[in-house]
Structure 1
Amino acid sequence: MTLRFAAIGLDHRHIYHMVAELIAAGAHCAGYCPLTSDPRVLEGFRERFPTLPPLPRDTLFDDPGIQIIVSAAIPADRPAIAIRAMQAGKDVMVDKPGAVSLDQVAALEQAAAETGRIFSICFSERFVVRACETAARLVADGAIGRVIQTTGLGPHRLNRAIRPEWFFRPETFGGILTDLASHQIDQFLFFTRSATADITAAHTANRALPDVPAFQDYGEILLHTPHASGFIRVDWFTPDGLPAWGDGRLFLLGTEGTIELRKYVDIAGRPGADHLFLTNNNGTEHIDCSAEPLTYFPRFLADVRHRTDTATPHGHALTVTRLAIKAQAMANAAGGRE
């Protein structure tokens, strides 16, 4: 059976790869709701998917032939969309962050439990990065032993002129740790094989945008479990001269080696993206991961068909979201917006 899905919430460009990868994995897009807070996102969507029909939101929610709703709405609006979809009998994939408050996380958790529907977050810095797929395979094969520490760097280009108004309000996007650092928390839990973690420290700051004092352009987190620890740094300081939106990197320290991922660019080095550097007892190696297949989207579709949890473990998406929100609250309580 070909699964059918619809897109509701075209407010962030991440909706492009969510829709494209589901189609590539074999699903059929039945349409999209054209309501948006950013007409440029809608324009880009129509350019990429010119044959998809725009339909009213209620029509998409109420269509029993649609099994999945995907959403990259304004972050504060994502939980309500997801809950309505689940209550309509549909599984859900949303962009990160999945929520901006602990109350929203609790409501999502309750809706998923009551309906038996899947709530998944597309953590694109892992699920749409082929180097992460290679790293996952190497770690599973024991190439660096047991992962005991991760360092995740998530720099982004601000592109202030094209950002919508909600992007600068913490109550709508959640703050820099809730938003960006959710990626690195996801990676920490995944590569250290941890169900959850404790936040040791969290800090945020506004270093360069005094005219929007509530916004944060820098953030960091320390987290740990009984068997691993992690450091996270996220920021909005990618310079215009970098030929990518950010020099995202992930460092994995294992008991028998290390892995470094240069996800989007190898500065003044090899061309292209998806570079992995492996060091272990056998020596050092550069691996071009550009041909590595992405597995999250076909696994998600398999989970919808078979009611399994192969794309992400049950509850993982909300655990990551809860930890990110707690880190944000810890930073805010400490007066993190300098």
Structure 2
Amino acid sequence: MTPPLRFAAIGLDHRHVYHLVGELIAAGAVCAGFCPQTSDAKVLEGFLERFPQLDPVDRERLFDDPSIDIVVCAAIPRDRAAIAIRAMQAGKDVMVDKPGAITADEVDEIDCVARETSRLYSICFSERFVVRACEVASRLVAEGQIGRVIQTVGLGPHRLNRAIRPDWFFDPAAYGGIITDIASHQIDQFLHFTGAPDATIVSASTANHNLREMPAFEDYGEVLLHGGGASGFIRVDWFTPDSLKAWGDGRLFLLGTEGYIELRKYIDIDGRAGGDHVFLSNRAGTRHIDASHEPLTYFRNFLNDVRDRTSTAMPAGHALKVTRLAIEAQEIARHRKGLVDGAAR
């Protein structure tokens, strides 16, 4: 019997570390320990509540332990590239939270080290890989249920929860900007569902509507992109009302040549209970699919890739392609904002 793969958690700064660790354990991997270093004591507290059986271990010991196959990371975004590079140089494959990097130079360095070390570098785009509705939609598209996907509309609203956010959350130099951070999810989904190997950023913009006392912060972003004969529109924001029974009404629309699919990922507002709602309309009719019990495949596939040196969890190079596009869109938005601000003066 093949022994289970072992992994370590380094970078406990974002709550996404909970599903990185939890889903890998559920897929059959063993957590060899975690580095307790964090910028947010609440994240560490939540981690200890969820995983009381895991042991804190010095960071360098985790990097240097030859029995550890994988490092997972949800550090402050500005720190993720360095942690991933250190892990790959230590002979480990890597799974990081998005964004995996916040500058083009970081992406180039990650790419270079991954090639030199032959290590796997993967980004867990949770709005696809931890959403069961996306599993169903992927199958429907692969089956040709809506023909060829020619347009995607991805909406990524979030609740700000300002009182519990750490200082770095409001610093673009730390999190990379709203497009680099959040819209990487929707860029990933555009490439995945359209099958486009690459994309062109047509336009991008950001704004700060509510936190004027923090002028560098961005609470709204939008992107238009084209690729593979398809187009995509993205809107991300921090305007989810506190009254909504979910952190955001995340939605994805897939327009095909023979029908369309709508995903209501986290809530069917004032409708059906729970999340993971899929609506399919094609020549055969219209129906609602409850995807809440659909198995998640990314984590199991990633472990298989580590064992077999394959690329089934995501195509080779996909993670960095998405990251490059998100950073490019962020830069376009910054340039546009600079022109607008300059004209206003």
Normalised by the shorter chain, which TM-score bucket?
over 0.9
Asked whether the equivalents of residues 196 and 228 of structure 2 are also in contact (C-alpha less than 8 Å), the reply is: no
Structure 2 residue 297 is the aligned partner of structure 1 residue 292: no
Structure 2 residue 69 is the aligned partner of structure 1 residue 91: no
Structure 2 residue 61 is the aligned partner of structure 1 residue 66: no
For normalisation by structure 1, the TM-score amounts to 0.99
Q: Which residue of 2 aligns with 1:209?
A: 211
Q: Secondary structure at the match of 2:337?
A: coil
Letter in 2 for 1:205: A
Stretches of structure 2 lacking an aligned partner (at least 5 in a row): none
Which whole-Å CA distance do the structure 2 matches of 1:250 and 1:49 have between them? 32
Which whole-Å CA distance do the structure 1 matches of 2:148 and 2:159 have between them? 33
Map 1:110-149 → 2, pairs under 5 A: 110-149=112-151
Which whole-Å CA distance do the structure 1 matches of 2:128 and 2:73 have between them? 18
Q: Which residue of 2 aligns with 1:41?
A: 43
Q: Secondary structure at the match of 1:22?
A: helix
Deviation at 1:196, TM superposition (A): 1.0
Map 1:150-229 → 2, pairs under 5 A: 150-229=152-231
Q: Secondary structure at the match of 2:195?
A: coil
Q: Secondary structure at the match of 2:31?
A: strand
Deviation at 1:226, TM superposition (A): 4.1
Deviation at 1:224, TM superposition (A): 0.1
Asked whether the equivalents of residues 20 and 72 of structure 2 are also in contact (C-alpha less than 8 Å), the reply is: yes
Deviation at 1:297, TM superposition (A): 0.2
* RMSD across aligned positions (CA): 0.8
Which whole-Å CA distance do the structure 1 matches of 2:228 and 2:202 have between them? 12
Aligned length: 338
Letter in 2 for 1:219: G
Letter in 1 for 2:114: A
Which whole-Å CA distance do the structure 1 matches of 2:130 and 2:337 have between them? 34
Which whole-Å CA distance do the structure 2 matches of 1:97 and 1:162 have between them? 21
Which whole-Å CA distance do the structure 1 matches of 2:53 and 2:286 have between them? 47
Q: Secondary structure at the match of 1:204?
A: strand
Which whole-Å CA distance do the structure 1 matches of 2:22 and 2:53 have between them? 13
Map 1:310-325 → 2, pairs under 5 A: 310-325=312-327
Which whole-Å CA distance do the structure 1 matches of 2:253 and 2:261 have between them? 6
Which whole-Å CA distance do the structure 2 matches of 1:165 and 1:335 have between them? 23
Deviation at 1:195, TM superposition (A): 1.3
Q: Which residue of 2 aligns with 1:256?
A: 258
Q: 1:10 aligns with which of 12, 25, 32?
A: 12
Q: Which residue of 1 aligns with 2:78?
A: 76
Q: Percent identity?
A: 71
Q: Which residue of 2 aligns with 1:106?
A: 108
Q: Deviations over 1:115-143 (max 9, x none)?
A: 00000000000000000000000000010
Letter in 1 for 2:78: A
Q: Which residue of 2 aligns with 1:19?
A: 21
Q: Secondary structure at the match of 1:105?
A: helix
Deviation at 1:281, TM superposition (A): 0.3
Letter in 2 for 1:138: L
Q: Secondary structure at the match of 1:18?
A: helix
Letter in 2 for 1:286: H
Q: Deviations over 1:261-307 (max 9, x none)?
A: 00000011000000000000011000000010000000000000000
For normalisation by structure 2, the TM-score amounts to 0.97
Q: Secondary structure at the match of 1:334?
A: helix
Q: Deviations over 1:212-236 (max 9, x none)?
A: 0000000000000141000000000
Q: Secondary structure at the match of 2:137?
A: helix
Letter in 1 for 2:125: F
Which whole-Å CA distance do the structure 1 matches of 2:136 and 2:173 have between them? 36
